[in-house]
Amino acid sequence: MRVDDAPFDAQPRVETGLSRRETEVMELIATGRSNGQIAQHLFLSEKTVKNHVNRIYAKLGVDSRVTAIGLWLERATREDPPRL
């Protein structure tokens, strides 16, 4: 699966306090996209994406992309546990 084809659900997650747009940006971060790629995909400036990323970090209580992704994926697993 290519990054461009990766599915995601941009519904706000209540426990994170992220807005719909921040959720969309975080989902794209979790697929491995750079700020530039996210900006291009969402038709935003890279500065706007950077602002969203900084707000996401503050709301999640993290200070790096890797930590944000780890927390995001952990919460996603708790919300939708894998089926055996």
pLDDT > 50? residue 2: no
List CB contacts of 12: < 8 A, sequence separation 6 or more.
18, 19, 20, 23
Report how far residue 84's alpha carbon sits from residue 21's, in angstroms, rounded to the nearest whole number: 32
**Arithmetic mean of pLDDT, 61-77:** 93
**Arithmetic mean of pLDDT, 28-32:** 96
For 6-33, b/e burial (b = at least 16 CB within 10 A) is eeeeeeeeeebebeebbbbbbbbbbbeb
Domains of the chain by range and CATH? 3-79 (1.10.10.10)
The pLDDT value recorded for residue 1 is: 40
**Arithmetic mean of pLDDT, 20-39:** 97
User: At 75, is the pLDDT very low, low, confident or very high (cuts 50, 70, 90)?
Assistant: confident
